[in-house]
Amino acid sequence: MKKLIILFFAFVASNSYSQQIFKKKQNLLGSPFEITVVATDSIKGNQFLELAISEVKRVENLISDWIPTSQISTVNKNAGIAPIKVDNEVFELVQRAVRISKLTSGAFDISYASMDRIWKFDGSMKEMPTAEAIKNSVAKVGYQNIILNKNESSIFLKNEGMKLGLGGIGQGYIADKIKALLQENGCSSGLVNVSGDINTWGKQPNGMPWTVGIINPMNKNKVFATFPLDDSAVETSGSYEKYVTFNGKRYSHIIDPRTGYPASGIISVSVFAKQTELADALATGIFVLGIEVGLDLVNQLNGIGCIIVDDKGAIHVSKNIDIKKYQ
């Protein structure tokens, strides 16, 4: 589960500007969703807002593993049985997800949905699962067993009981799709926030860029850095509210799909990129990889920035971010 630890600042235009800001908030995808657009009047603004919400529902009905009739659910039902032909956009999304799995050495893996839920973060778990139970919990997980046939546009899960879950990339994908759709329909500026997956384009009516403030979860009342978003995206993954502690060690609710053990040492990861989809998936992968390996990966990727807050409250940044410049 992702928790939003980004504050988004928008300054509503005064009457001296011909364009105005229009917003809509709803619970979609089981999470908070907010769309902000700039338009000349309320008719156009509301058209953009409704278009965005329709796009969320359209994509959700394709990729949500919680909707029994979705194409991803059909793929899951046929695990170990038969390949399933899917729409091109679903195939390509899964294909990109597998590429990120390879990039992160499996720290990000959409087959995580196959994992047995042996860890409880609701206060009910009093002792750690056994090493055997942890190992067995990820026996069906493995992006290597996702068989993609480009010619047939089909997806086949090699082993019975495997499942795909696109929660770690799907919300970012939806944010990107909304941005592209609204731009195609004449919306020159806006911000979409899908449960912390934020993408922006254009500027506010006063000519200023959209801005996000990053918060240290150890001090939620204080923004430690404010960043302008210029036609770009940011995503934050956090474990600062859902975790368990055993023998003095803090275990987050974000599980390493390779081992079955919870990630540790980090409480939040913010990733900056041009596409929310990429920021979304990388944030999860970096969280699992840890500070040193995660930052080393980011430092090899063009156009990607990263801020990590460790479990002691210390802040770590990729080499392309001068944190003092934004404080």
> What confidence tens digit (pLDDT) does each residue in 85-112 have?
999 999 999 999 999 999 999 999 999 9
State yes or no: pLDDT of 3 exceeds 70.
Answer: no
pLDDT tens, position by position, 34-61? 999 999 999 999 999 999 999 999 999 9
The answer to the question of residue 322 being in a domain is no
Q: Give the pLDDT mean for 294-318.
A: 95
State which residues form the domain around 149: 71-167
Q: Give the pLDDT mean for 3-7.
A: 46
The answer to the question of residue 191 being in a domain is no
The answer to the question of residue 181 being in a domain is no
Q: Give the pLDDT mean for 184-213.
A: 94
Strands across the sheet containing 6-9: 6-9, 210-215, 223-229
In whole angstroms, give the CA distance from residue 201 to residue 190.
6
Q: How confident is the model at residue 16 (pLDDT cuts 50, 70, 90)?
A: very low
The answer to the question of residue 224 being in a domain is no
The reported pLDDT for the residue numbered 77 is 98
The answer to the question of residue 129 being in a domain is yes
The answer to the question of residue 134 being in a domain is yes
Q: Chain-wide mean pLDDT for the chain? A: 90
The reported pLDDT for the residue numbered 7 is 52
Contact between 282 and 197 under an 8 Å Cβ cutoff? The reply is no
State yes or no: pLDDT of 218 exceeds 60.
Answer: yes
pLDDT tens, position by position, 235-249? 998 866 677 788 777
The answer to the question of residue 119 being in a domain is yes
Question: Strand 6-9 to strand 210-215: parallel, antiparallel, or no bridges (unpaired)?
Answer: antiparallel
State yes or no: pLDDT of 9 exceeds 70.
Answer: no
Q: Give the pLDDT mean for 180-185.
A: 98
Weakest-pLDDT range from 76-85, 148-157, 259-268: 259-268
The answer to the question of residue 40 being in a domain is no
Which CATH number do you get for residue 102? 1.10.3980.10
Q: How many domains does the chain have?
A: 1
Buried b (16+ CB within 10 A) or exposed e, 135-145: eebbebbbbeb
Q: CA 213, 216, 218: angle at the middle one, nearest 5?
A: 150
Q: How confident is the model at residue 199 (pLDDT cuts 50, 70, 90)?
A: very high
The reported pLDDT for the residue numbered 88 is 98
